[in-house]
Amino acid sequence: MRYISTRGQAKSLTFSEVLLAGLADDGGLYMPEVWPEISREDLRRFRDLSYSDAATEIIGLFTGSDIPKAVLRNSLNQAYGSFRHKAVAPLYQLSGTDWLLELHHGPTLAFKDIALQWLGVVFDYVLKRKGERRTIIAATSGDTGAAAIHAFQASDAVDVFVLHPKDRLSEVQRRMMTIVRAPNIHNIAIDGSFDDCQAMVKAMFADDDFRSALKVSAINSINWARILAQMVYFITSAVALGAPNRALTYVVPTGNFGDIFAGFCAERIGLPVAMLAIANNDNDLLTNLLSDGQYRARKTIATSSPAMDIGNPSNFERLLFEESGRDDAQIQNWMAALGCGEGFEICPAVLQNIKRKFTAASASKEEVATKMRTIYEDYDLLVDPHTAVGLVAMEKLRRSRAIGDSVVTLATAHPAKFPELVKAATGQRPVLPARFDDLLGAQEFCTNLANDLDQVKSFIRQHARQE
Ligand SMILES: *Cc1c(COP(=O)(O)O)cnc(C)c1O
């Protein structure tokens, strides 16, 4: 199995090369050259498999001979051994036709753990095989940084630098990162916003000398391996609920479009899916795009679901590539227009293709708070603000008959990760699982730096073991 770039100008790579590269040289995103297929019989067979065993079969279709099957199986067993639910991604039934898919049973209580726990293991395997080291640099508004730190803290082939905006994260989010003490983990608090952190990471990736000297890798949601790992729970949950004989709708709280694109990939390889519903907060570019076809990157608006505060969802490029019939010249034009700050209009035929499988709705802060309260009143259940965005979108789409029955909404974070917001909406303070008892008392390890690219670069050069 080889991978090609959505912009058509980079050379094709193997899975392990794509894993380490993240972004393609031409600025595009990697996609499988051909789609493998799973049959209806395979889907029926998955019903009797554990999560890791199903993951081995599904992911194995895309890694081919690059990762030996036994290594793949071990890596997945190891990754999901740290989850506190035997099913890894269990379903919670809300009504006769509605479920939540709980993706927050990992070490940092958000769905990012599902992909990153596996990335940590498979990175180590690939790097040991090559005798290489790597430097991972990431910006986080909360969940990605914590998941990456917990995934790579035992790795001696990878150094991790996570930039977060000082004083902008919840205390729980910050401490999940800063209490980790390991020689390869570096927390950097920047005097600035998340956008400032992100801009610095982008600048470091664009600096060829810096990138090759430090062997920098990207593990943000454009990394194909993350999409791949996220495909698995769409398939295991659908199978548990009757696939292939039943097609479900998935409502996905969406930020960078990685999670819902994984659902698209699952459908692409053979899973029957009724609809994929994008749930947006006030950063609702994609909800508007489905009605007017206009793609205009915007400044982000701060909401109660910060992991979805994204004004330019990078993985959407992958969908445009697929739905335009893999027209890489068209993608180049669109992305060039976006790069000049202009935006672009999706041609009607491509928009029509997208609308065949996708629908969308958005939720305001007030609607999210009301939803958290009514879910608590009706089901005695606390949900986090991201999950509540999904539930608001689900209700709106059902009312307008854009989706039918049999709906799975993805629960992307544990409510205890956002205790203040949940308490304000419901009057109940969600309790952190007992394994976090030391979280609020433990010592923090973090370096505070100015919003200054040169300072950050020299700190990374000093502390990365690559040099
Ligand atoms: C990252 C994240 C999302 C958004 O996922 P994307 O793949 O970026 O669309 C939603 N909810 C939570 C809790 C997240 O951490």
List residues bridging with 29 in a β-sheet: 23
Burial of 415 (0-12, 13-18, 19+ CB in 10 A): buried
- Taking the centre of ligand 1 as the mean of its atom positions, its distance from the CA of residue 170, in whole angstroms, is 16
Residues marked as catalytic: 112
Q: Are 52 and 34 in contact (CB under 8 A)?
A: no
pLDDT digits (tens, 9 = 90+) for 391-423: 999 999 999 999 999 999 999 999 999 999 999
Structural domains of the chain in order of their starting residue, each with its CATH number: 91-109+224-426 (3.40.50.1100)
- Taking the centre of ligand 1 as the mean of its atom positions, its distance from the CA of residue 465, in whole angstroms, is 31
> Taking 80 as the threshold, does the pLDDT of residue 459 lie above it?
yes
Distance of alpha carbon 95 from alpha carbon 467, whole angstroms: 56
- pLDDT for residue 194: 83
- Please compute the mean of the pLDDT values over residues 65-73 and round it to a whole number: 97
Write 434-442 long-range contacts (CB < 8 A, 24+).
435/84, 438/179, 439/172, 439/175, 439/176, 439/179, 440/171, 440/175, 442/175, 442/179
Distance of alpha carbon 163 from alpha carbon 137, whole angstroms: 8
Tokens of 406: 């049999």
- pLDDT for residue 298: 83
Can you tell me which atom of ligand 1 is nearest the CA of 104? 13
Can you tell me which atom of ligand 1 is nearest the CA of 384? 13
A 10 A CB-CB count for 64 gives 12
Can you tell me which atom of ligand 1 is nearest the CA of 259? 7
A 10 A CB-CB count for 105 gives 22
- pLDDT for residue 161: 97
Pairing outcome for strands 407-411 and 248-253: parallel
- pLDDT for residue 199: 86
Report the candidate in 419, 413, 444 with the shortest Cα–Cα distance to residue 432: 419
Whole-model pTM: value is 0.96
**237, 241, 246, 251 alpha-carbon torsion, rounded to 10°:** -50
Pairing outcome for strands 185-190 and 158-165: parallel
Return the sign of the alpha-carbon dihedral for residues 177, 179, 183, 187. positive
Q: Are 39 and 57 in contact (CB under 8 A)?
A: no
Top mutation candidate among 264, 300, 412, 417 for ligand 1, by most atoms within 8 Å of CB: 412
pLDDT digits (tens, 9 = 90+) for 332-371: 999 999 988 889 999 999 999 999 999 999 999 999 999 9
- pLDDT for residue 195: 82
- Taking the centre of ligand 1 as the mean of its atom positions, its distance from the CA of residue 258, in whole angstroms, is 8
Top mutation candidate among 386, 389, 391, 414 for ligand 1, by most atoms within 8 Å of CB: 386
> Taking 80 as the threshold, does the pLDDT of residue 467 lie above it?
no
- Taking the centre of ligand 1 as the mean of its atom positions, its distance from the CA of residue 107, in whole angstroms, is 16
Distance of alpha carbon 14 from alpha carbon 63, whole angstroms: 8
Distance of alpha carbon 435 from alpha carbon 150, whole angstroms: 14
> Taking 60 as the threshold, does the pLDDT of residue 271 lie above it?
yes
Quote the crossing angle between the two packed helices 224-240 and 112-130, to the nearest 10°.
Answer: 130
- Please compute the mean of the pLDDT values over residues 92-110 and round it to a whole number: 97
Q: In terms of residues, how long is the chain?
A: 467
- Taking the centre of ligand 1 as the mean of its atom positions, its distance from the CA of residue 254, in whole angstroms, is 6
Q: What pLDDT band is residue 10 in, cutting at 50, 70 and 90?
A: very high
pLDDT digits (tens, 9 = 90+) for 274-309: 999 999 999 999 999 999 999 988 888 889 999 999
Distance of alpha carbon 107 from alpha carbon 298, whole angstroms: 33
- pLDDT for residue 422: 97
Report the b/e string of 177-190 with b at 16+ CB within 10 A: bbbbeeebbbbbbb
Return the sign of the alpha-carbon dihedral for residues 171, 176, 180, 183. negative
Distance of alpha carbon 45 from alpha carbon 53, whole angstroms: 11
Q: Is the peptide bond before 32 cis (omega within 30 degrees of 0)?
A: no
Top mutation candidate among 105, 111, 169, 286 for ligand 1, by most atoms within 8 Å of CB: 111
- pLDDT for residue 168: 84
Ranking 141-145, 290-294, 418-422, 452-456 by mean pLDDT, the lowest is: 141-145
Pocket of ligand 1 (CB under 6 A): 110-112, 143, 221, 253-259, 307-308, 386, 412-413
Tokens of 93: 């039934």
